Structure 1
Amino acid sequence: MSIRDQLFQILEAKEQEMIEHRRHLHRHPELSFQEENTAKYIKSFYEDKDVKLTQPVQDAHAIIVEIDSGKPGKTIGLRADFDALPINEETEVPFKSENEGVMHACGHDAHTAYLLGVADALIEVKDQLTGKIKIIHQHAEEQPPGGAQQIINSGALDDLDEVYGIHIVPAVTPDTILYNKNNAFSGSSTFTLKINGLGGHASSPHKTHDAIVAGTNFVNSIQTIVSRRIDPLKMGVVTIGAFEAPGASNVIQDSVTIKGTARYLDAELEQFMYQEIDKIAQSVALGFDVTYDLDYTFGYPVLYNHPTETDNVARVLSESKGDYFQHLMEIPPVTGSEDFAYYLQKIPGTFYIVGSKPYDVEDPYMNHHPKFDVNEDCLLVAAKSLTDIALDRLQ
């Protein structure tokens, strides 16, 4: 029996265990940088296993597990994140979140579950491997500056030759794997703009400096960044997610707070979009005689899937198509963002998608929705695909 067949048999035997891991983590979600009990759960899984376990980031919960074959060869990194979101769960699953206002609404519980399965299988056959595998259990993907950057800065992955990761997405069912290369996921930044005016009575607007009118002009004007300031062949998105100016109908408010995000597939647009947003805020302040405070946070960079490593992944998965999944599709760039981008800035590798759409749902709730759910068949598909890739890269 080949080592691949052995690994797949182990994973198949552990499928229910992976499901149980996922449901336990789903029931007990924790927010970014607060994942204390999640980290304890992961560490306890490895307690009696022949691996080296380290926590490379001081005052954070990241865990790196080294599986060393004892033979020379490559060192390959496999990563999954384990933080949750500040969302109140609205599903009716029996393992619904027990932490009020916190939910695994992005699938990181599933990510951790399949990586535990992959690690367990690789540990069982490590004497038949060459080189090393580093299992990267990452904290705080959801909240910039993110856990990936902290792990990279710690130096714990300086010896990696390649790195791979997966995101589950319910755009397709688990029989489908999606990949892309080059600039694959967008970079993102967030901003909060507070416009400060002079409030007053609604009947006397001439005696005020209306922050709401200034704010609405800002919202309208920044849409021209994409339509008029960016090359039409380059992707850019500016979205306003919140416009906060609570008050009464007969009162002109003193201030308004506006929150938004900018996304881009060209790294050069990161600074450009900030400069344009700030320029428009300045012009609105001048035109409406108000002042402003702009809090602009550069988030995750553009995720670049290295072409050679992506082609290797496509080759491996193409050879396995029809075995544990049916469809392999190359897709256009994705406008979502991922801090896996930090690994790929330093280490060759790729990041791809495994479908998690329930079979009987035509329009599933997507990641970050309070009714987001996971087709648990994706756990075995993800585990086998990542094992397939790791084994090929080691050999």
Structure 2
Amino acid sequence: MLNQLLQKLDEKKERMIEIRRYLHQHPELSFKEEKTAQYIADFYKDKDVNIRTNVGGYGVVVTIKGGLPGKTVALRADFDGLPIMEEADVPFKSKNPGVMHACGHDGHTAYLMILAEALFEMKDQLKGNVVILHQPAEETPPGGAMAMIEDGCLEGVDNVFGIHLMSLADTGEVYYRAGEMQAGRSYFKVKIQGKGGHGSMPHTSNDSIVAASHFVVAAQTIVSRRINPFDMATVTIGSFDGKGSFNIIKDSVELEGDVRTMSSDIRATVEKEFKRILAGLAQEFDITYDLIYSHDYPVLVNDNDMTGLVVKGIKKAQIPEIKAVIETPPASGSEDFAYYLQKIPGSFFYVGAKPANGHVYPHHHPKFEINEDSLIIAAKAMAAVVAEYFGQE
């Protein structure tokens, strides 16, 4: 079965690239992917599969019922773009100004559409069912995964797998990790309220910029002095809105940022210390503050057994395009695939996509690009996982 499936993917490789390039030219932002969702749904409309649209928003769920009894496995790909003006020098550049596929989601969607088509063509041989999860809004909290789950996308599903293409990793390499793989994320916004006044009479005012500046420095001690050096945490203040007139003491300042942690315990510690510092700041500078502090994507935790299945299946398949299967350290980025893994066991793994031309840029960069050879690699890697899952070689 696997050899037949891999052969079908080889035959469909060029169409996979065509789909990716079409999606790259027509990116849409999170929660606004109406046309992308319709394009995906249209791809399946003439196939004998069960299609659900508008799942948790613009999600598309396709169920391929196998001809033989067995478990049900879900495969997920996200399809939203980012608010970035593309600078990559490619002939299929984004046609939507200020919106770009700068994270590889176009590639995720293209490989999974073609893999789904190949699986459908072999459905009578499948010892179980395959659910295809085309998910919107991975980039923007609260994300699309949670809403799709609430709308029943995992009903009857036993396990789930997903892939992310990685532009900084060598094409031909696959990366896995059991247990904690990607960080959880929290968001904060603080408004520090002082008392404005004239710069010539600072004693009659309460300078919110001075108070906020002290907070910026103090917040860095959360990681350096409150978190075990062997544990992972980051506190980033990405916005300090203190613009005003040169001779006016600001009445208020707003700060925004995010927190990344690799466990729920450390997440709680960072939040506790963050609020403790703010409370002390209010006493020290006689200011007040309003705080929004919310948790969104949880820590992504891969199931040990399902990750072992991924490694075993890919290695056993001996796919010629795959040069190495490598255990990777945890990543500090966040990913809403974590919500699926909170519900059912599964595994999320990476496929290298470093461009061959040497023009390598990280995800979310305006010149981001992937090696399109990674598409067939992703499709074949996931095909090997499905074959191993169903016990079909």
Aligned 1:353-372 pairs, distance under 5 A: 353-361=350-358, 364-372=360-368
Aligned 1:369-384 pairs, distance under 5 A: 369-384=365-380
Partner residue in 1 for 2:37: 39
Partner residue in 1 for 2:347: 350
Amino acid at match of 2:270: M
Partner residue in 2 for 1:261: 258
Q: Tell me how far apart the structure 2 counterparts of residues 189 and 224 of structure 1 sit (CA, whole Å).
A: 17
Contact 2:67-2:125 at 8 Å conserved across structures = no
1:331 to 328, 341, 346: 328
Partner residue in 1 for 2:65: 68
Instruction: Give yes or no for the alignment of 1:391 onto 2:391.
Output: no
What TM-score comes out, normalization by structure 1 length? 0.96
Partner residue in 2 for 1:157: 154
Contact 1:82-1:139 at 8 Å conserved across structures = yes
Give 3-state SS (helix, strand or coil) of 1:106's partner: coil
CA apart distance, 1:26? 1.1
Instruction: Give yes or no for the alignment of 1:317 onto 2:314.
Output: yes
CA apart distance, 1:56? 6.1
Q: Tell me how far apart the structure 2 counterparts of residues 56 and 343 of structure 1 sit (CA, whole Å).
A: 18
CA apart distance, 1:102? 1.4
Contact 1:321-1:328 at 8 Å conserved across structures = no
1:105 to 86, 102, 105: 102
Q: Tell me how far apart the structure 2 counterparts of residues 40 and 368 of structure 1 sit (CA, whole Å).
A: 25
Instruction: Give yes or no for the alignment of 1:222 onto 2:204.
Output: no
Q: Tell me how far apart the structure 2 counterparts of residues 283 and 77 of structure 1 sit (CA, whole Å).
A: 49
Aligned 1:194-213 pairs, distance under 5 A: 194-213=191-210
Q: What are the Cα deviations for residues 259-304 of structure 1, in whole angstroms up to 9, with x where unaligned? A: 1111111122223322221221222122112221111121100000
Q: Tell me how far apart the structure 2 counterparts of residues 13 and 38 of structure 1 sit (CA, whole Å).
A: 25
Q: Tell me how far apart the structure 1 counterparts of residues 135 and 218 of structure 2 sit (CA, whole Å).
A: 39
Partner residue in 1 for 2:26: 28
Q: What are the Cα deviations for residues 314-369 of structure 1, in whole angstroms up to 9, with x where unaligned? A: 1112223562210111011111111000111111110000011112327x211111
Q: Tell me how far apart the structure 1 counterparts of residues 346 and 389 of structure 2 sit (CA, whole Å).
A: 11
- The aligned length equals 391
2:92 to 90, 95, 101: 95
Give 3-state SS (helix, strand or coil) of 1:167's partner: strand
CA apart distance, 1:251? 2.4
Partner residue in 2 for 1:54: 52
Q: What are the Cα deviations for residues 11-52 of structure 1, in whole angstroms up to 9, with x where unaligned? A: 111111111111111111111111100000001100111100
Q: What are the Cα deviations for residues 99-158 of structure 1, in whole angstroms up to 9, with x where unaligned? A: 222111111111101100110110111111111000000011111111111122222312
Amino acid at match of 1:168: L
Partner residue in 1 for 2:187: 190
Q: Tell me how far apart the structure 1 counterparts of residues 55 and 167 of structure 2 sit (CA, whole Å).
A: 32
Stretch deviating more after TM superposition (329-338 or 226-235): 226-235
Contact 1:56-1:156 at 8 Å conserved across structures = no
Stretch deviating more after TM superposition (5-14 or 321-330): 321-330
Partner residue in 2 for 1:234: 231
Q: Tell me how far apart the structure 2 counterparts of residues 46 and 233 of structure 1 sit (CA, whole Å).
A: 48
Q: Tell me how far apart the structure 1 counterparts of residues 55 and 343 of structure 2 sit (CA, whole Å).
A: 18
Contact 1:76-1:394 at 8 Å conserved across structures = no
Q: Tell me how far apart the structure 2 counterparts of residues 347 and 334 of structure 1 sit (CA, whole Å).
A: 21
CA apart distance, 1:161? 1.3
CA apart distance, 1:248? 2.8
Stretch deviating more after TM superposition (266-275 or 65-74): 266-275
Amino acid at match of 2:215: F
Give 3-state SS (helix, strand or coil) of 2:264's partner: coil
Amino acid at match of 2:88: T
Root mean square deviation of aligned Cα: 1.4
Partner residue in 2 for 1:175: 172
CA apart distance, 1:213? 1.0
Contact 1:196-1:211 at 8 Å conserved across structures = yes
Give 3-state SS (helix, strand or coil) of 1:84's partner: coil
Amino acid at match of 1:368: H
Partner residue in 1 for 2:303: 306
Q: Tell me how far apart the structure 2 counterparts of residues 63 and 322 of structure 1 sit (CA, whole Å).
A: 29
What TM-score comes out, normalization by structure 2 length? 0.96
Give 3-state SS (helix, strand or coil) of 1:268's partner: helix
Q: Tell me how far apart the structure 1 counterparts of residues 314 and 206 of structure 2 sit (CA, whole Å).
A: 61
CA apart distance, 1:174? 1.7
2:7 to 9, 18, 28: 9
Give 3-state SS (helix, strand or coil) of 2:334's partner: coil
Amino acid at match of 1:260: G
